């Protein structure tokens, strides 16, 4: 991908010094490749309104014969979908008065009521802030064979805590949130996000179900020997999202690092052309409750220890993806760091990225001092 295809009016490039300036940060990632944290990575860093790093390292797999990662390589973003797509859609609908944060989820999804009266107290704010009382993860794909079956089962998942009492990161909550958005808009989630988020920002290679792009240019995420019994490539890695046809509120988006950087710059500049500044501030501010939560409305914030490292400010926010992806944004430093990998190759077992990612973020901030 050529540089003039990467930048737009939101994001001018200043890349001439990147190899020297971020030498240590890139060395951290190369060390991760050597230690088999991930076979390859793509990086985009913005600082003070410019793209200051756009780099590729490693290969699609650990084989020396496999394709090299390019700076514009498209990765499975996994749960970064929650922030990039689902939360952004909520922000747009909030501004239009079509989504009220304090409205009960059951007002849009009546089947969510069930027999537990506590469910009537669950609001859209709670889904966004992961304080609904729903569990983190349920293997719905083991019993659901279709999108509708999985959504039906998700709406019946029992609570594990009283609504609002504790923060528990929940895929289930965002599966339901994605369905609620489709009912509010009357559109499939992928069409709404494409028309209202990705296209206005010029994100030509970001979206759900990347079959329209060349399959061979997307790194595989896993050799799945347990459920699908095939190599997972150019299809969502998350099994629940896969049963849902690759379009879900919790996972399913694919994209290249530089397009996430363009999105991050939009948010850093107050939201234009997508959002109002007030909306950005509301959704990226840490929630006051439950006590001790690190969550905003759809994002996370630095905690101790944090995958963002030790330097990001208290006003920073970000999101991780299970496949080894992340986006962190710091409005105080006017900084965003996108790191995309396929750390799940070949079998999800490596957790070394938990050491590499914060060290990489620390090296980036130190390079910009």
Measured CA to CA, the distance from residue 293 to residue 168 in angstroms comes to 9
CA atoms within 13 A on the CB side of 13: 17
Q: Average pLDDT per run of 10 along the chain, which is 369 residues long?
A: 53 95 98 98 98 98 98 98 99 98 98 97 98 98 98 98 98 98 98 98 95 84 97 97 98 98 97 98 98 97 95 98 98 98 97 98 97
Measured CA to CA, the distance from residue 296 to residue 305 in angstroms comes to 17
Categorise residue 130: left if φ over 0, alpha if ψ from -120 to 50, beta otherwise. Answer: left
From residue 77, alpha-carbon distances to 91, 212, 320 in Å are: 20, 17, 9
Q: Which two tokens stand for residue 219?
A: 């790194």
For residue 52, report the phi and psi dihedrals to the nearest 5 degrees: -105, -10
Q: Under DSSP, is residue 107 helix (H, G, I), strand (E, B) or coil?
A: helix
**Multiple choice CATH, 3-83+190-368, 2.30.42.10, 3.40.710.10, 3.40.630.30, 3.30.465.10:** 3.40.710.10
CA atoms within 13 A on the CB side of 337: 29
**What is the 3-class SS of 145-178, one letter each residue?**
CCHHHHHHHHCCCCCCCCCCCCCCCCHHHHHHHH
Q: Under DSSP, is residue 358 helix (H, G, I), strand (E, B) or coil?
A: helix
From residue 20, alpha-carbon distances to 53, 231, 246, 338 in Å are: 11, 37, 40, 19
Q: What is the CA radius of gyration of the chain?
A: 19
Number of helices (H), then strands (E), in the chain: 12, 10
If you write DSSP's letter for every residue of 295-313 in order, what string do you get? B-SS-B---SS-TT-S-S-
Measured CA to CA, the distance from residue 55 to residue 360 in angstroms comes to 13
From residue 120, alpha-carbon distances to 107, 132, 144, 159 in Å are: 9, 11, 25, 12
Which is nearest to 83 in space by CA: 292, 255, 243?
Answer: 255
- Cα 13 to chain centroid, rounded: 24
CA-based end-to-end distance of the chain: 30
Q: In the chain, where are the structural domains located?
A: 3-83+190-368
- Cα 20 to chain centroid, rounded: 29
């Amino acid at each position: 991908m050529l540089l003039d295809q990467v930048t737009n009016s939101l994001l001018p490039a200043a890349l001439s010094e990147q190899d020297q300036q971020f030498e240590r940060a890139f060395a951290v990632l190369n060390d991760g490749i050597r230690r088999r944290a991930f076979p390859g990575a793509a990086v985009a860093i913005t600082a003070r309104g410019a793209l200051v790093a756009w780099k590729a390292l490693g290969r699609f797999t650990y084989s020396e014969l496999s394709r090299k990662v390019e700076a514009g390589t498209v990765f499975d973003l996994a749960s970064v979908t929650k922030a990039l797509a689902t939360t952004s859609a909520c922000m747009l609908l909030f501004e239009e008065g079509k989504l009220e944060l304090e409205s009960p989820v059951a007002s849009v999804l009546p089947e969510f009521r069930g027999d537990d009266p506590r469910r009537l107290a669950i609001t859209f704010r709670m889904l966004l802030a992961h304080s609904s009382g729903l569990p983190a993860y349920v293997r719905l794909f083991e019993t659901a064979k279709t999108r509708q079956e999985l959504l039906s089962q998700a709406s019946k998942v029992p609570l594990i805590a009283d609504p609002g009492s504790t923060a528990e990161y929940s895929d289930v909550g965002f599966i339901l949130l994605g369905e609620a958005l489709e009912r509010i808009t009357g559109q499939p989630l992928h069409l709404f996000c494409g028309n209202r988020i990705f296209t206005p920002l010029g994100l030509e290679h970001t979206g759900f179900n990347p079959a329209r792009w060349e399959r061979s240019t997307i790194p595989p995420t896993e050799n799945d020997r347990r459920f699908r019994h095939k190599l997972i490539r150019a299809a969502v890695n998350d099994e629940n999202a896969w049963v849902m046809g690759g379009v879900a509120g919790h996972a399913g988006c694919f994209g290249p690092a530089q397009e996430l950087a363009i999105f991050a710059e939009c948010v850093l500049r107050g939201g234009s052309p997508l959002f109002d500044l007030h909306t950005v501030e509301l959704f990226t501010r840490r929630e006051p409750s439950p006590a001790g939560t690190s969550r905003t409305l759809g994002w996370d914030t630095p905690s101790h220890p944090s995958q963002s490292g030790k330097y990001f400010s208290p006003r920073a926010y970000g999101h991780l993806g299970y496949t080894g992806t992340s986006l962190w944004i710091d409005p105080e430093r006017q900084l965003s760091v996108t790191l995309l990998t396929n750390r799940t190759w070949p079998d999800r077992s490596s957790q070394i990225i938990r050491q590499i990612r914060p060290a990489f973020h620390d090296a980036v901030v130190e390079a910009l001092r």
